[in-house]
Structure 1
Amino acid sequence: MLATFGLVSPLEAGIFLVIALVIFGPGKLPDVGKALGKGIKEFKSASQGDDIVQNPTENKSAKLDKVE
């Protein structure tokens, strides 16, 4: 038998990735993954009770505004 990671086997994960590729297309798939990762990160911080979610892109834009 194949080793399973959590509740999803590697075969099921591969099928899921192929279906996602067909639905979203190769150009949009990285954006979907990035949004999913960001959502999971925010959910984890909210469930742990962290009130402040740090966004590195906001810090960079604030620094750029001060320079100009």
Structure 2
Amino acid sequence: MGMPSMPELLIVLAIVVLLFGAKKIPDLAKGMGKGIKDFKKAIKEDDEEEEVKEITKKEEPKVEAAAEEKKSENA
């Protein structure tokens, strides 16, 4: 089964207009766009949090080593 042809797309569009009405279609599209935008934002924030955690894990041993070094210097 291939891609739908132009008449098939027009039939689907007509059914959508009949079901939702011409006035609600822009609202539906706006809502979908906002949902996609929020989803992408959440994914980006999650990736940034993971990067921060990885950097923190890498730097923790350095900080601990520096703290131990200062303790040994003070003693």
Interval of TM-score (by shorter of Structure 1 and Structure 2): 0.3 to 0.5
Which of the two has higher C-alpha Rg? 2
TM-score, normalization: structure 2? 0.41
Is the helix fraction higher in 1 or 2?
2
